[in-house]
Amino acid sequence: MIILLAIAIGSLFGGATYLMLRRSVVKLILGLIMLSHGVNLLIFTMGDGVRRGAPPLVDANGQPPAGVADPLVQALILTAIVISFGFTAFVLALAYRSNQAVGSDDLDDLSTTDRL
């Protein structure tokens, strides 16, 4: 299980990096989205359920309960997903508008603010 997750996280990060190094704005944003998914998956693997097989919970006898996942990582991921959802909507709208203003999807055309 952990190997599969590691491979999935690695491919997400690799794909995201590849996409973000392209010149197109849309690919850049797709890369950002993939990166946030990769990080979410990474947080998921950090939950004790995956790594050590038991959540940081105990029942009345001090034993770890069976069949319960670590709830904290799920809360963290939910928060991270909500945040990245909002940001993705914002970045997409921003890219759309700047595409309207500049008339190009090429990052090299977005350099007027960097000129002397």
Partner 1 sequence: MVFHLFIPIITPMIGATLAVFFNRQRIAARAIALISVLINLGYGLWLMSVVPASGPLVAQASGWLAPFGISLVADGMSALMVMLAALLMLTTIVYSFYSVDYERERHFYYPLLLLLLLGVSGAFLTGDLFNLYVWFEVLLVASFGLITLGGSRDQLEGGLKYVVLNLLGSTAFLFGCGLMYGFAGTLNMAHIAERMATLSNPGLQTALAGIFLFAFGSKAAIVPLFFWLPSSYHTPPVAVTAIFSGLMTKVGVYALYRVFGLLLQNELAVYGPWLTLLAGLTMVIGVLGAVAQMNVRRILSFHIISQIGYSIMGLGLASAAGLAAGLVFTAHVMIVKMALFFIGGAAEQINGTGDLKKMGGLARREPLLALFWFLGILSLAGIPPLSGFIGKLILLQVGVSQQAYLITAVAAGTSILTFFSMLKIWNEVFWKKSYEDVNLLPRVPLGLLAPGAALVILSVALGLLAGPLVDYNTIAGQQAFDRGAYITAVCGVDGCEAVYRAALK
Partner 2 sequence: MMPLLLLLSIFMLLRGHNLPGGGFIGGLLASSAIILQIVAFGPKTARRILPVNYLLLAAFGVFFGAIWGLPALFAGLPYMQAFWLPEPIPGVGKIGTPVLFDIGVYFTVIGVTTKIALLLVEEPILFPLPAMKTASAESEEGA
Residues that bind partner 1 (CB under 8 A): 20, 25, 28-29, 32, 35-36, 39, 42-43, 45-46, 48, 51, 56, 58, 62, 72-73, 76, 79-80, 83, 86-87, 90-91, 94-95, 97-98, 101-102, 110-114, 116
Distance CA 62, CA 47 (A): 20
Among 36, 51, 47, residue whose Cα is nearest residue 72? 47
Kindly state the smallest distance separating residue 67's Cβ from partner 1, in Å. Answer: 19
Six-digit token string for 88: 């993705």
Kindly state the smallest distance separating residue 6's Cβ from partner 2, in Å. Answer: 27
Q: For residue 106, which phi and psi values (nearest 5 degrees)? A: -90, 125
Which residue ranges make up the site for partner 2 (CB under 8 A)? Answer: 75, 78-79, 82-83, 86, 89-90, 93-94, 97
Kindly state the smallest distance separating residue 94's Cβ from partner 2, in Å. Answer: 8
Q: 69 contacts which partner out of partner 1, partner 2, none, CB within 5 to 8 A by kind? A: none
How far are the Cα atoms of 6, 17, 21, 90, 91 from residue 43, in angstroms, in the given order?
A: 11, 19, 24, 24, 23
